[in-house]
Amino acid sequence: MIPQSFIQDLLNRLDIVDVVDRYVPLKKAGANYVACCPFHSEKSPSFSVSPTKQFYHCFGCGAHGSAIGFVMEHQGLGFVEAVEDLARNAGMAVPKEESGQHEHRAAGNFDALHEVMQQATRYYRDELKRSETAVDYLKKRGLSGEIAARFGVGYAPGGWQNLAAVVSDYQAKSLVQAGLVIEGEEGKRYDRFRDRIMFPILNQKGAVIGFGGRVLGAGEPKYLNSPETPLFEKGRELYGLFQARQAIRAAGKVIVVEGYMDVVALAQHGVEYAVATLGTATTPVHVQKLLRQSDNVVFCFDGDTAGRKAAWRALENSLALVSDEKNLKFLFLPQGEDPDSYIRKEGKAAFEALLESALPLSEFLLRELAAGVDMQTMEGRAHFLKLAQPLVQQVAAPALRLMLQQRLAELAGVSRNELETLMPVKLPVKQPAAMRPKPSRKPPSLVRKMLQWLLYQPELGMDFDVNLIGGNSDEQKTLRALLDFVSNNKSQINTTVGVWEYFRGSAHEALLSEVSGEILEWDKAEVAAEFAGALEQLHQAERNRSIDALLGRPLGELTPEEKSELQRLLQGGYGSTKAT
């Protein structure tokens, strides 16, 4: 596990403005720097980076965090990989991991894995140039040399141990760990990919983390992907995202298809904003990545039973993530067609015209539910509502959820009030825009205020008596944890991000994330004064509790010491008693 002291040292050496500016050009705006948010589509900048507080915040989508968090989100890296990337740029060596949650990463030996993946990529690309059969196959599929080069397409020739001539040690563990070689029960090894067109799978940094292989003719399996490895998790990666990112921003939308041949064929015909899942259903992580790339996502599937099943799974995993400003749609191609075959036959214009007819998420949801019941009978409509209830209640977007309920009531032939009895929903009450007051950075509770103040200026809590914070609410638990950490790390913690990174992955991260986005424009002197006022309130509350405890007993039962203590407290002194 990477020591906290190293993470603090790394953060102290980094300037988040320099880190972010490497990926997103920033402009000075007052005390901060701004840009259009890289995590969602927007025309005017709402993404702010604070050089004094060393964290970023988007007032549009709510994304925020430290330099480490930015690299994780923007580059699609894990925590350890992000720390290693930043440490290399800072000229620092990450301490070796020995135990804890990162053991499997150390065992993976990332440098060795990346090296063998690069060697295999070069080998497969060289072999494609030597294979007339493979080149003819790609030409028949309509792929140009330019597109093949852009996606790094290669060819794994037939034979059992071709990689033995490429790597220095065919018995190295890294070959098996990277999924390039299979080791049999008796220790005999052979190449996983043989006689297949090879499609490298890249992470968001452009590094090869896996492969997809397609047979040239008949054969099973038709498509073969790399297995799960320390580099590659199917449920987190999207094929073609690295190549498509600029086109996605330019087009204002992203298409999700089922196979890498679909992605490559679409790019060949000028539709360069497509990505594909990798032999697995669309996951919530996929949906999160897609919605960060664009406000408009179109899932494009075959019109057969398998395609509709895949679309329904994508819908289920999108309900809790979609927001009212995002559009998710579903396109089903004519029977027997996939994106590859359709665009080769009909061309770009016809395919993009089909995209315009894609079904919105709400229509697809209601249509599929209604198709499975008899809407002409009361029993069928009751079943329709029963099926819809758990799905609609997952919808996080309040306006969309409200309109779905309205449409459900119409289709089922019940009143809105009757439906709300069956399917209650709590929506936030918003004032009209003209009457809405300016947002206030002051949260409703004293504890919540103190969380923000301590995130802004951690040193305020270094000599704080944590016993002043009673209760077991989430805010109170998090405040106690924050105070305990700050008081025990005086020599290390002198920045907001130092505190932030310590609580990454903990039970307190979500709450700290929620309250931290409101402190970008705060003034340090004002915060210190407000914190002192809060401390006064806590001491006053403690004094009142002590007075109540003493006054609740007969005066004759109080000891002389307790009577003296009561007199002192009534005169405005602080302190606690041992009264019971």
**Per-residue pLDDT tens for 413-459?**
998 888 888 877 654 443 333 333 333 434 347 777 777 767 767 77
> Which residue segments constitute the domains of the chain, with CATH numbers given?
4-102 (3.90.580.10), 109-225 (3.90.980.10), 241-365 (3.40.1360.10), 372-422 (1.20.50.20), 446-570 (1.10.860.10)
CA–CA separation, 526 and 529 (whole Å): 5
Radius of gyration of the chain (CA): 30
Residue 373: its pLDDT value, please? 93
> 299 is written with which tokens?
């899932």
CA–CA distances in Å: residue 528 to residues 453, 492, 532, 535: 8, 20, 6, 11
Neighbours of 331 (CB within 10 A): 22
Residue 297 CA to residue 241 CA, distance in Å, equals: 13
Greater confidence, 111 or 500?
111
Sign of the C-alpha dihedral computed for residues 332, 337, 339 and 344 taken in this order: negative
Residue 319: pLDDT band with limits 50, 70, 90 = very high
Q: What is the DSSP letter of 358?
A: P
Give pLDDT, residue 577: 43
At 264 the pLDDT is 96
CB 171 within 8 A of CB 189: yes
How many Cα atoms sit within 13 Å of 559 on the Cβ side? 7
Q: 497: pLDDT confidence band, cut at 50, 70 and 90?
A: low
d(CA 119, CA 225): 18
Q: Using CB atoms within 10 Å of the CB of residue 431, give its burial: 0 to 12 exposed, 13 to 18 middle, 19+ buried.
A: exposed
Does the predicted model carry a pTM greater than 0.75?
no
Q: Is the dihedral of CA 302, 305, 310, 312 positive or negative?
A: positive
pLDDT for 112 beyond 70 = yes
Residue 151, pLDDT score: 97
Amino acid at 517: G
Cα→Cα distances 53→56, 66, 340, 513, 535, Å: 9, 9, 49, 14, 23
Task: Report residue 56 CA to chain centroid gap.
Answer: 16
Tens-digit pLDDT profile for residues 46-61: 888 887 778 888 877 7
Query: What is the C-alpha to C-alpha distance for residues 485 and 496, in angstroms, rounded to an integer?
Result: 13
Residues contacting residue 395 through CB under 8 Å, at least 6 positions apart: 319, 320, 322, 401, 404
| pLDDT(137) > 50 | yes
Amino acid identity at 228: E
Range with lowest mean pLDDT among 48-62, 227-241, 277-291: 48-62
Q: How far apart are CA 92 and CA 465, in angstroms?
A: 37
**Report for 108-112, 263-267, 386-390, 494-498: range of highest mean pLDDT:** 263-267
Using CA atoms, how far residue 157 sits from 6, 88, 132, in Å, is 46, 37, 11
**Cα gap 330→314, rounded to integer Å:** 9
Compute the distance between CA of residue 367 and CA of residue 332 in angstroms, rounded to an integer: 13
Query: Where residue 256 falls among pLDDT bands split at 50, 70, 90?
Result: very high
Which of 58, 63, 62, 55 minimizes the C-alpha distance to 20?
55
Across 201-205, 246-250, 314-318, least confident range:
201-205
- Average pLDDT over every residue of 364-375: 94
Apex 575 CA angle, 570 and 579, nearest 5: 85
Structure tokens at 379: 């029993």
